Amino acid sequence: MSVVRHSRLLILGSGPAGYTAAVYAARANRHPVLITGLEQGGQLMTTTDVDNWPGDVEHLQGPALMERMRLHAERFNTEIVFDHINRVELRHRPFHLFGDNGEYTCDALIIATGASAQYLGLPSEEVYRGKGVSACATCDGFFYKGGCRRRGRQYCRRGGALSD
């Protein structure tokens, strides 16, 4: 039987929102525990140039940004736990979370699990990911601001969170 670990504040997710929550909570002396999930660093780990990040004018890469965010959270003593939560009980306090590597309870929970890109499943998507195939109109729309044709090439857009 595993030991249940209790935290005053638990943060689920290790993308930008999770690390930002950890920095703010740690600076407020809340002693946060952040559980990374399966994809530590979130979607930015598969992003090349992050040119819409304020303050970085020289070709910032997604993985480098996430490393900096992790180090920032750790600087203020955020405890980072490598686990994947697969079941939660939120009806009663303390909240109870069940992970692959342990069980957790907490008084407060921040869910910052982000999103996952939904691709069509075409073989060419994997080949051209990052080379014309994008899953983020907000991030990459800048490159396609000329309408449905850019540099003589056609492109198309398929749905999204707000268009389905």
Catalytic residue among 140, 148, 156, 164: 140
pLDDT at 91: 97
Contact between 90 and 8 under an 8 Å Cβ cutoff? The reply is: no
Catalytic residue among 136, 148, 156, 164: 136
pLDDT at 164: 41
129 Cβ contact partners less than 8 Å away, ≥ 6 residues apart: 46
Catalytic residue among 139, 148, 156, 164: 139
pTM: 0.78
Q: Is 60 exceeded by the pLDDT of residue 162?
A: no
Q: Is 106 a catalytic residue?
A: no
